Amino acid sequence: MDKIVINGGTPLVGEIAISGAKNSAIKLMAVSLLTDQKVTLTNMPRLRDTRSMAQLLNHLGVAVEDDAGNEMTLHAAKLNGATAPYDLVRKMRATFNVLGPLLAREGHAKVSLPGGCAIGARPVDLHLKALEQLGATIELEEGYVVASAKGGLKGADITFPFISVGATEHAMLSAVLASGVTTLFNAAREPEIIDLAACLNGMGAKITGAGRSEVRIEGVSKLSGVTHSVVPDRIEAGTYALAAATAGGSVRLTNIRSDHLGALWPLIAQAGAKVSLDETTVLIERDGGRPRAVDMETQAYPGFPTDLQAQFMGLMCLADGVSIIRENIFENRFMHCPELSRMGADITVRGREAVVRGVEQLRGAPVMATDLRASASLINCALAAKGETHIGRVYHLDRGFEHIEVKLGQCGANIKRVPDNG
Ligand SMILES: CC(=O)N[C@H]1[C@@H](OP(=O)(O)OP(=O)(O)OC[C@H]2O[C@@H](n3ccc(=O)[nH]c3=O)[C@H](O)[C@@H]2O)O[C@H](CO)[C@@H](O)[C@@H]1O
Ligand SMILES: C=C(OP(=O)(O)O)C(=O)O
């Protein structure tokens, strides 16, 4: 296993090209199960999660051509079966979203309950209820969901009791080949949902309303192949924007969709960094002095993303004042707090809220990555801290950040990956 070593305290200066979105790419890969023709994805990030998804799809019979660059072609001419085993599903969340497509294509499926970051209980009841409403019969057997839809899936009205990104995507992936019309109410509105709909529509699906709370899906009998470019990763972009604000300096991010981070830019500006935006780039500049304390709470899109909560907290650790950070999406997403405290941060967690009293200086320390985005907050704080920080368990980070040492290194960060013999 590797660790990342950062010698902090130098401002970041340079340019970073943002990759395609992990959270879109892995769902787009599952789309390949819905057609016997080729699905080509461009602007694909090269990540541990995309590799894990490719392994699972390959196990199911999908031929995966990966050009070692940023293009991937998936071809499910014929499937090997409809079982997604525990070992291939447990590493991440989105692997579970093969259930609906397998049901739609094969009429039955057996998929292990998923894994993913341990940031809450993360049940899949909404996914299963949606599939049942589409006519599937579902049983739980020894950690597996065993589902069948003998006469095929049938369109239905599905009202989500609260917003779920994964359940919205899963319902869309299942309903595209169902007979009749499906309407989703209280659907998630994340850019990744719009990306998924755009890809499916490019294959002949009839989806309208993606990105709004009400999504209409008119089932079609067949989908064709497609070439689709993955939407830029708003979480990677937000992470590096916050890295520049935390460590100071001047960093330009390219290949972004700045409108996808509408909740972040005003908060970075309130914290004292200069934010200069156009549609596809942003320049973040902060020099001298401490950031200002700003309160923040996470919300479903277009609110502040929970996947940037830890990184925003990293910035607040150095603020002049007290910031209250409220996590509304996941009940256990403060695992980075004790690790940030090792670096000298002053954070008190009270249920869903963290009270962050900014300190003047963070100091390097040995810390441990606890989940994907938590790891990114440790990186950002280590870049700002005085001295050396060793970040263990970087496999979390590798799930979702492409070439992070290279990208930050280009901006002058003193960061390296070394074997962890500890
Ligand atoms: C791979 C991927 O895209 N992951 C993202 C996705 O996760 P994911 O799709 O798992 O997140 P959801 O939007 O589904 O979760 C929101 C909340 O709903 C709960 N819930 C969800 C489904 C369900 O059946 N029952 C239930 O109770 C969850 O535990 C959580 O408290 O959206 C999250 C919220 O933006 C992001 O943090 C994750 O990075
Ligand atoms: C929580 C995340 O991923 P997953 O849903 O796969 O755990 C994430 O991308 O921040």
All structural domains of the chain, each given as residue ranges with its CATH number in brackets, are 2-19+232-419 (3.65.10.10), 22-229 (3.65.10.10)
Q: Where are the beta strands (DSSP E) in 132-287?
A: 137-141, 144-148, 157-159, 181-185, 206-208, 215-218, 226-229, 249-254, 274-277, 282-286
Catalytic residues: 117
Q: Taking Cα atoms as reference points, which of 307, 280, 297, 317 lies closest to residue 399?
A: 307
Query: Which tokens go with 89?
Result: 């599903």
Mind giving me the DSSP string for 38-65? EEEEES----HHHHHHHHHHHHTT-EEE
pLDDT of residue 254: 98
Distance between CA atoms of 365 and 247, rounded to whole angstroms?
Answer: 16
pLDDT of residue 191: 98
pLDDT of residue 252: 98
Give me the mean pLDDT over the 301-319 stretch. Answer: 98
Query: Which tokens go with 409?
Result: 């290194």
Asked if residue 347 lies in contact with residue 359, where contact means CB atoms within 8 angstroms, the answer is no
183-213: pLDDT as tens digits: 999 999 999 999 999 999 999 999 999 999 9
pLDDT band at 116 (very low <50, low <70, confident <90, very high): confident
82-100: pLDDT as tens digits: 999 999 998 888 899 999 9
pLDDT of residue 118: 82
Residue 117 alpha carbon, nearest atom of ligand 2: 7
329 is in an annotated binding site: yes
Give me the mean pLDDT over the 9-23 stretch. Answer: 97
Please name the helix (run of DSSP H) or strand (run of DSSP E) that holds residue 358, with its range, or none.
Answer: none
278 burial via Cβ count (<10 Å: 0-12, 13-18, 19+): exposed
Give me the mean pLDDT over the 114-140 stretch. Answer: 91
pTM attached to this predicted model: 0.98
* Per-residue pLDDT at 169 exceeds 80: yes
* Per-residue pLDDT at 181 exceeds 80: yes
Pocket perturbation via mutation, ligand 1, pick of 23, 126, 158, 164 by most ligand atoms within 8 A of CB: 164
Query: Which tokens go with 333?
Result: 């997403």
Residue 306, ligand 1, Cβ within 6 A = yes
* Per-residue pLDDT at 120 exceeds 90: no
pLDDT of residue 208: 98
Distance between CA atoms of 172 and 163, rounded to whole angstroms?
Answer: 14
pLDDT of residue 1: 81
Mind giving me the DSSP string for 77-143? SS-S-SEE-HHHHTT-SGGGGGHHHHHHHHSEEEEEPP----SS----HHHHHHHHHTT-EEEEETT
Give me the mean pLDDT over the 156-181 stretch. Answer: 98
Q: Helix, strand, or coil here: 66?
A: strand
47-86: pLDDT as tens digits: 999 999 999 999 999 999 998 899 999 999 999 999 999 9
Please name the helix (run of DSSP H) or strand (run of DSSP E) that holds residue 23, with its range, or none.
Answer: helix 22-31
303 burial via Cβ count (<10 Å: 0-12, 13-18, 19+): middle
234 or 120: which carries more pLDDT confidence? Answer: 234
Distances (CA, A) of 19 to 24, 72, 291, 367, 403: 11, 14, 28, 27, 10
β-bridge mates for residue 39, sequence order: 74, 226
- Interface predicted TM-score (ipTM) of this complex, two decimals: 0.99
Give me the mean pLDDT over the 13-38 stretch. Answer: 98
* Per-residue pLDDT at 126 exceeds 80: yes
In which residue are the tokens 């990293």 written?
Answer: 314
Residues 6+ apart with CB under 8 A from 202: 226, 227, 228
Residue 373, ligand 1, Cβ within 6 A = no
pLDDT of residue 421: 78
Asked if residue 21 lies in contact with residue 234, where contact means CB atoms within 8 angstroms, the answer is yes
322-336: pLDDT as tens digits: 999 999 999 999 999
Percentages of the chain per state (helix, strand, coil), in multiples of 5:
35, 30, 40
Q: Is the peptide bond before 191 cis (omega within 30 degrees of 0)?
A: no
pLDDT of residue 91: 83
Residue 195, ligand 2, Cβ within 6 A = no
Residue 48, ligand 2, Cβ within 6 A = no
* Per-residue pLDDT at 111 exceeds 90: yes
* Nearest ligand, CA 327: 1
307 is in an annotated binding site: yes
Distance between CA atoms of 147 and 107, rounded to whole angstroms?
Answer: 8
Residue 188 alpha carbon, nearest atom of ligand 1: 13
23 is in an annotated binding site: yes
421 burial via Cβ count (<10 Å: 0-12, 13-18, 19+): exposed
Residue 92, ligand 2, Cβ within 6 A = yes
22 is in an annotated binding site: yes
Q: Where are the beta strands (DSSP E) in 300-413?
A: 322-326, 346-350, 353-357, 366-368, 387-392
Q: Helix, strand, or coil here: 228?
A: strand
Distance between CA atoms of 293 and 286, rounded to whole angstroms?
Answer: 15
Distance between CA atoms of 122 and 12, rounded to whole angstroms?
Answer: 36
206-208 and 12-17 beta bridge pairing: unpaired
pLDDT band at 125 (very low <50, low <70, confident <90, very high): very high
Helix axis angle for 309-316 and 234-247, nearest 10°, is 10
